[in-house]
């Protein structure tokens, strides 16, 4: 594995200097920028437009204990239950205790959550899978977009923040264990740029695009995890990939999410025969944890020999559904469906990555002055299976903690000589004319077919052989296109995800091995990868 995707000499490149560089324009990245004092200069780099991220697509809402019958303790219990024994309890405690404070800050930034019909002073609360209380605040069925729109509006008004759209972060610049900035590439000019910074924050999202069927946007190719690994950073829990149970299954669209909130409002799942089946599998039926519901749907599809099941919320009227789920209702209408009358065809698809860049409670990584938050990070919150609507909450809670930590570091920073560190890379790469687009598609098909909801040693080993073969072919390739960069990152991550899944010889949370169906106490550990080591940590 080459340390960098491209050869370069920082002395010969355009240079930009910032106090903080944030990679990623989703909720985690933008909120972090807003919480850093305005006296510091900040750059936000986005792979596409700042309005394209997994955050924007988030439908359901944000979990926060606001009701009198609820509490942070109960929220914590539900999170630990869903996480199947692998949550970091200290991280979860931070999440639930600091939730309300951060929601108040979102409201101050102008985010308009739905209000309770009984008392407009209070936020409306709904329930999703594995939550024991109504604690999901929302903005219709487009919560992520509402939050992103308001945060982006605020950040564009900040004179200290510069947003670089269509600017790809390629690799971190690390010397003596500390991050000095990063090397990036402008899509328009295809010229590398050096961004020097006192702190770099990774908020690039997950690696859902490793899979053919995913709810994630095209930008979610795991770039942050890949360039962190190449720089010597640690990656944790990569085998835990969550499949959302209810994604539209239509000839024209197999990636549109049908929010878990629909089941929270009473929708039931039916098989091809019209029979309700979830009570046969789990006492919580449709509101069981996501990994359970996805596996049950998968088994029911195998039983009936079909490619999808159906979601039924026809007990609710058109007016209510159109108001509660305006985005879902209108989207289904485009495909000739009325959710107040028709059963919605759905099937599981990749949705969220519990694993990522290993961090502590302040978002710090093992690389000095380098931080991670949002889906790119592994804070220990989600364990083996994320509790619904904890993801946006994690992004803001830990984004703010990073902002406070970075602000403290910048205030005490006395020596900025690292801004002038030179990085020089020269390798013997070859022009191969390799079809990277075709190889990317091959990886996505391999991961979907062999590293999905149900896994075995045989399927995982076959997947590993396919990925390693591609890795060998591109090992010394001269990367010249953006597809080349994506392929290098995807090959690296796919190999690590598969190796972690092979190592974990048990079934836990989102990781289900049909050849090791039991959950084992000896595997109540985390698999942590770095360039030099693979370790099991309790």
Residue 81 pLDDT class (50, 70, 90 cuts)? very high
Is residue 295 within 8 Å of 289, Cβ to Cβ?
no
| pLDDT for position 60 | 73
Residues spanned by CATH 3.90.700.10 within the chain?
Answer: 245-350
Give me the chain's average pLDDT, please. 94
Which is nearest to 130 in space by CA: 275, 7, 294? 294
Letter string b/e over residues 330-343, b meaning 16 or more CB atoms within 10 A of that residue's CB: ebbeeeebebbebb
Kindly tell me the burial class for residue 74, based on how many C-beta atoms sit within 10 Å of its own C-beta (0-12, 13-18, 19 or more): middle
Is residue 376 within 8 Å of 244, Cβ to Cβ?
no
Structure confidence by residue, pLDDT tens digits, 24-44 = 999 999 999 999 999 999 999
Distance, CA of 358 to CA of 498 (rounded, Å) = 18
Which is nearest to 157 in space by CA: 110, 95, 200? 110
Strand partners of residue 20: 42, 199
Instruction: Answer left, alpha or beta for residue 374, where phi above 0 means left and psi between -120 and 50 means alpha.
Output: left
Distance, CA of 215 to CA of 417 (rounded, Å) = 43
Strand partners of residue 196: 17, 181
Helix, strand, or coil (residue 142)? coil
H/E element, 195:
strand 192-202
Q: Which of 290, 324, 400, 401 is catalytic?
A: 290
Q: What is the CA radius of gyration of the chain?
A: 22
| pLDDT for position 285 | 94
Q: Distance from CA of residue 470 to its chain's centroid?
A: 25
Which class in CATH covers the domain with range 15-62+137-240+354-413? alpha beta
Distance, CA of 48 to CA of 32 (rounded, Å) = 19
Strands 14-23 and 42-45: parallel
Annotated active-site residue 290? The verdict is yes
Does residue 333 surpass a pLDDT of 60? yes
- What's the first-to-final CA gap in the chain, in angstroms? 29
Share of the chain above pLDDT 70, in %: 98
> Phi then psi for 118, rounded to 5 degrees?
-80, -30
Structure confidence by residue, pLDDT tens digits, 347-371 = 999 999 999 999 999 999 999 999 9
Kindly tell me the burial class for residue 412, based on how many C-beta atoms sit within 10 Å of its own C-beta (0-12, 13-18, 19 or more): exposed
SS (H, E, C) 424-455: EECCCCECCCCCHHHHHHHHHHHHHHHCCCCE
Catalogue the E-assigned strands of 37-186.
42-45, 62-63, 136-137, 161-164, 167-175, 178-186
Q: Considering only 51-55, 155-159, 512-516, which range has the smallest mean pLDDT?
A: 51-55
Residue 41 CB coordination number (10 Å): 18
Residue 76 CB coordination number (10 Å): 18
Does residue 293 surpass a pLDDT of 80? yes
Structure confidence by residue, pLDDT tens digits, 157-210 = 999 999 999 999 999 999 999 999 999 999 999 999 999 999 999 999 999 999
Residue 12 CB coordination number (10 Å): 9
Does residue 154 surpass a pLDDT of 90? yes
Residue 282 pLDDT class (50, 70, 90 cuts)? very high
Helix, strand, or coil (residue 253)? strand
DSSP 359-424: --TTSB-SSBTEEE-GGGEE-SSSTTSPPTT-HHHHHHHHHHHHHHHHHHHHHH----GGGG---E
| pLDDT for position 417 | 46
Distance, CA of 256 to CA of 259 (rounded, Å) = 9
**Mean pLDDT over residues 279-297, rounded?**
92
CATH code, residues 432-519: 1.20.58.100
SS (H, E, C) 302-362: HHHCCCCEEEECCCCCHHHHHHHCHHHHHHHHHCCCCCCCCCEEEEEEEEEECCEEECCCC
| pLDDT for position 201 | 98
Residues spanned by CATH 3.50.50.60 within the chain?
Answer: 15-62+137-240+354-413
Q: Quickly list H helices, 176-245.
A: 223-230
Residues spanned by CATH 1.20.58.100 within the chain?
Answer: 432-519
Share of the chain above pLDDT 90, in %: 88
Strand partners of residue 349: 244
- Selecting from 2.40.50.140, 1.20.1300.10, 3.30.1490.20, 3.90.700.10, what CATH number does the domain 245-350 have? 3.90.700.10
């Amino acid at each position: 594995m080459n340390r960098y995707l491209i050869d370069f000499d920082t002395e010969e490149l355009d240079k930009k200097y910032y106090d903080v560089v944030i990679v990623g324009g989703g909720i985690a990245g933008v909120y972090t920028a807003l919480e850093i004092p305005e006296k510091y200069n900040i750059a936000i780099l986005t792979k596409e437009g700042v309005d394209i991220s997994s955050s924007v697509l988030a439908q359901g809402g944000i979990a926060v204990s606001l009701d009198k019958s609820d509490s942070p303790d109960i929220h914590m219990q539900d999170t630990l239950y869903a996480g199947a024994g692998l949550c970091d309890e200290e991280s979860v405690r931070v999440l639930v205790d600091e939730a309300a404070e951060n929601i108040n800050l979102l409201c101050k930034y102008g985010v308009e959550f739905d209000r309770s019909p009984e008392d407009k002073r209070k936020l409306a609360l709904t329930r999703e899978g594995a939550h024991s209380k109504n604690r999901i605040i929302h903005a219709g069925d487009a919560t992520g977009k509402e939050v992103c729109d308001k945060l982006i509006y605020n950040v564009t008004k900040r004179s200290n923040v510069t947003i670089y759209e269509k600017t790809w972060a390629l690799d971190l610049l690390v010397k003596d264990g500390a991050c000095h900035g990063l090397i990036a590439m402008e899509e328009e000019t295809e010229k590398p740029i050096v961004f020097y910074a006192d702190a770099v924050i990774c908020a690039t999202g997950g690696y859902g695009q490793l899979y053919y069927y995913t709810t994630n946007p095209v930008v979610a190719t795991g770039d942050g995890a890949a360039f962190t690994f190449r720089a010597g950073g640690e990656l944790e829990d990569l085998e835990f990939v969550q499949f959302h149970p209810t994604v539209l299954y239509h000839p024209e669209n197999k990636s549109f999410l049908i929010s878990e909130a629909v089941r929270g409002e009473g929708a039931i799942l039916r098989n091809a025969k019209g029979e309700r089946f979830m009570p046969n599998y789990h006492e919580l039926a449709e509101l069981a944890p996501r990994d359970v519901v996805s596996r049950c749907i998968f088994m029911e599809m195998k039983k009936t020999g079909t490619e999808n099941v159906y979601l039924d919320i026809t007990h609710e009227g058109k007016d209510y559904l159109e108001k509660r789920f305006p985005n879902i209702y209108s989207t289904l209408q485009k495909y000739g469906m009325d959710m107040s009358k028709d059963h919605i065809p759905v099937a599981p698809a990749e949705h969220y990555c519990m694993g990522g860049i290993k961090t502590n409670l302040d978002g710090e990584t093992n690389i000095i002055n380098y931080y991670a938050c949002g889906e790119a990070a592994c804070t220990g919150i989600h364990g083996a299976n994320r509790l619904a609507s904890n993801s946006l909450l994690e992004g803001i809670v830990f984004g703010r903690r990073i902002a406070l930590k970075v602000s403290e570091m910048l205030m005490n920073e006395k020596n900025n000589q690292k801004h002038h560190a030179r990085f020089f890379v020269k390798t013997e790469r070859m022009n191969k004319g390799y079809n990277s687009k075709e190889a990317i598609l091959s990886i996505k098909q391999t991961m979907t077919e062999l590293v999905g909801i149900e896994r075995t040693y045989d399927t995982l080993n076959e997947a590993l052989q396919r990925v390693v073969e591609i890795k060998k072919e591109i090992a010394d390739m001269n990367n010249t296109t953006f597809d080349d960069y994506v392929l290098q990152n995807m090959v690296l991550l796919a190999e690590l995800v598969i190796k972690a899944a092979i190592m974990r010889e048990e079934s836990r949370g989102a990781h289900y091995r049909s050849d090791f169906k039991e959950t084992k106490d000896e595997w109540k550990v985390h698999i942590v990868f770095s360039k030099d080591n693979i370790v099991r940590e309790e």
